Structure 1
Amino acid sequence: MIKTIYDHYGIKPPQLTDIGKYKGFQYRNILYIVVDLGHLDEEEIYEFHQMSQFLISQGERQVASFMINKNGGLITETDGKKYGICRVPYPIETSALAYGRELASFHQKGKLLPYPMEKSNRIGQWKGLWEKRLEQLEKFWGMKVQEHPNNETDKRFIESFPYYLGMTENAIQYLTDTEIDDLPRTFDTATICHHRFTLSTWKRDSFFKMPTDWVFDHPSRDLAEYVRHLYFKSGIFSEKSLFDFLSEYEKIAPLSSFAWRLLYARLLFPVHYFESVEGYYSSRSEAEKQAYENDIEKIIHGCIQYEQFLGHFYNKMGISTKRHHIPEIEWLQ
């Protein structure tokens, strides 16, 4: 890899070190990050490049940008694999990153993006994507039922799936009603979002923003996924931490009723369950399988508490559903 970097970019790193989930190196106060691009096509990579260049032009801090190689391209191929190199000013360390304010500012700049996004676009596509994902897992579930397995995790999956199928149908219906009954406002312009925005997306100890994390979508995507992460994974969930995050965000970008409803629909959609089950059955590593198994167990055992969280969500966030004409789901009340 060091030789490839030298041959294609003219930089010779002394060594590659771990930088979060990436490999990279530091050279003259710039951090260079090696990115595996094998799962992305050229158009999508070019869209990421456009997004990062635009955000940098808007003064967005700590955005990583793709380097152009000696052939004038963003992609470098070696040993049948595709790579790119992103560079970012050496990450600042911050112990006081206000995620809500930082995310709102990021979204505000992303809404000004003047280029059409096609490959990375997810706006208006949630319903189709959720239906497709549900259909795939339902087929797999049917196969497992016919196998009559003895494995405990298989049994748990077989028993729990009908419940999460119902939750998914609720989410799809809530989303459909929102798109029919409510109108998008100024806030609801599409922006640069993240595939999954979590506490570790912008690390406090090495704060930079990677274009390969991004999608072009409604801002409520990031808010919902951050809330989901706080609830299930962070170990620091409290109603106060959640309220503070959303309040910080709304100081810069107040949410519309349409946005609150999209956020809620996304929380209803049990992507945490889907990802854990899919991860368990696709993983080849025993350690990973065990981690996914633990996640599945935790999700299933906590389903009543999550129902209660969803049932009181609007009220706890200080949102008057009557004033904003936001429907609530009766069976969750």
Structure 2
Amino acid sequence: MKKMLQRIIQQYYGISIQEQFKLGPYDACRDQQNLYFLVPVTNMEEASLVELEQLALHLVNYGDSSVCQFLKTNDGQSFVDLENQRYCILRAGATVKRMRRAGRKLAKFHYRGRAVPFEVKGISRIGMWKSFWEQRLDQMERVWNEQLFQSPENEFVRMFIESFPYYMGLAENAIQYLSDTEQDDEPLAVDSGTVCHLHFSPRTWGENGALRNPFDWVFDHCARDLAEWTRERYFQNIKTYEPDVRQFYQDYASVSTLSSFSWRLLFSRLLFPLHYMDCVEEYYITPSEQVKLVQEERLRKILAQSQDYEEFLRDFYPLAGAPIRRYQIPIVEWLAK
């Protein structure tokens, strides 16, 4: 792929590069001013590609200099077709910034994303959480039922068979909490769709926080990013997460005030056990024995921490500064016991 990057960037973009390296999963290179990386997009719909390019341009025009831009080829195209494959080149400015006050930066990112002046369809996930969650839960329940009347073939399967009813209950609680929110509560301006990330975490924007990659994005409610950052930070170290989480929400609130609807959506997403689902799905999807072993260890850890996670969920609203009484936010009663 390194030779492919060099060939594409010189032949189609007329850029002479100085060095090549890996940037996460991507092949990357740089010249004197900029960083470039190659993104294979063969399996992506062209309409979604166009949306991502428009969103990137919008955010740059609104003042976000950290957003990677789609580089145009010499003849003005946004991608290159070569050997039955399609590629994009993204350009990132070479400026390095310290990642301070991630909550504040995310709130500004969401603020700019809400001002998108066109309808986003291809990468939108607005209003889809419930159907996605139900679908994932149904699929997992089918796998569980298949395994239930057989002897567990290994330790992972044994742990999955024993633990699934508990996590199915958590998932059903989350779906109900989400349904009640959508039925009972009124969205405000802050609840408009914005540019979000598939799985936002403290690592998503790169080590220095200065890399906004459009191929990480979806169009969704801001609660998606808040929940996934919080979940990831919690699991980094379940003993030390509280100061970071408290600061993150204080910083976010200094730019944007969450509504009752936002808080409830955010909590429903934390209640839904995505970490458990991801782990089980990864185990059954991967052909790699090494990855299976990693997921087995991960599942063992998740199960060992299940009571801690309940305590985290119970304490989340006060920790994050949610105005529970003023907004009359409902709590999950069994967690409060």
Shorter-chain TM-score tier: over 0.9
**Selected match of 2:253 from 250, 254, 258:** 250
**Selected match of 1:224 from 224, 227, 240:** 227
For residues 1-333 of structure 1, what are the structure 2 equivalents within 5 Å? 1=4, 2-70=6-74, 72-94=76-98, 96-205=99-208, 207-233=210-236, 237-333=240-336
* Paired residues of 2:18 and 2:30 also in contact (CA < 8 A): no
The whole-number CA distance in structure 2 between the counterparts of 1:144 and 1:78 is 45
Amino acid at match of 1:259: S
* Paired residues of 1:91 and 1:206 also in contact (CA < 8 A): no
Displacement, 1:235?
A: 6.9
Amino acid at match of 2:59: L
| Structure 2 CA distance for partners of 1:318 and 1:88, relative to 1, 3 Å | closer
Displacement, 1:14?
A: 4.8
Deviations 1:148-177 (A, max 9, x none): 223000111111111111111100000000
Deviations 1:191-217 (A, max 9, x none): 111111101111233621000001111
* Paired residues of 1:66 and 1:86 also in contact (CA < 8 A): yes
Q: Any runs of at least 4 consecutive aligned residues in structure 1 with deviations exceeding 4 A, and if so which?
A: none
Q: State TM-score, norm by structure 2.
A: 0.93
Q: State TM-score, norm by structure 1.
A: 0.94
Percent identical among aligned pairs is: 39
The whole-number CA distance in structure 2 between the counterparts of 1:38 and 1:140 is 31
The whole-number CA distance in structure 1 between the counterparts of 2:167 and 2:42 is 32
Displacement, 1:41?
A: 1.4
Amino acid at match of 1:51: L
The number of aligned residues is 332
* Paired residues of 1:130 and 1:172 also in contact (CA < 8 A): yes
| Structure 2 CA distance for partners of 1:147 and 1:69, relative to 1, 3 Å | farther
The whole-number CA distance in structure 2 between the counterparts of 1:83 and 1:142 is 42
Displacement, 1:5?
A: 3.0
* Paired residues of 1:67 and 1:84 also in contact (CA < 8 A): yes
| Structure 2 CA distance for partners of 1:309 and 1:254, relative to 1, 3 Å | same
* Paired residues of 2:279 and 2:295 also in contact (CA < 8 A): yes
| Matched residue SS, 1:323 | helix
| Structure 2 CA distance for partners of 1:234 and 1:4, relative to 1, 3 Å | farther
* Paired residues of 1:97 and 1:204 also in contact (CA < 8 A): no
| Matched residue SS, 2:327 | coil
| Structure 2 CA distance for partners of 1:76 and 1:311, relative to 1, 3 Å | same
Amino acid at match of 1:141: W
* Paired residues of 2:103 and 2:252 also in contact (CA < 8 A): yes
Cα-Cα RMSD: 1.8
Moved more, 174-183 or 197-206: 197-206
* Paired residues of 2:18 and 2:31 also in contact (CA < 8 A): no
Amino acid at match of 2:11: D
Amino acid at match of 1:330: E
| Structure 2 CA distance for partners of 1:39 and 1:234, relative to 1, 3 Å | farther
The whole-number CA distance in structure 1 between the counterparts of 2:57 and 2:162 is 48
Amino acid at match of 1:27: D
* Paired residues of 2:110 and 2:195 also in contact (CA < 8 A): yes
Amino acid at match of 2:248: F
The whole-number CA distance in structure 1 between the counterparts of 2:189 and 2:301 is 39
| Matched residue SS, 1:9 | coil
Displacement, 1:43?
A: 1.0
Displacement, 1:101?
A: 0.6
Displacement, 1:12?
A: 4.2
| Gaps in structure 1 of 5+ consecutive residues | none
Amino acid at match of 1:252: V
| Structure 2 CA distance for partners of 1:236 and 1:308, relative to 1, 3 Å | closer
Amino acid at match of 1:216: F
| Gaps in structure 2 of 5+ consecutive residues | none
* Paired residues of 2:19 and 2:30 also in contact (CA < 8 A): no
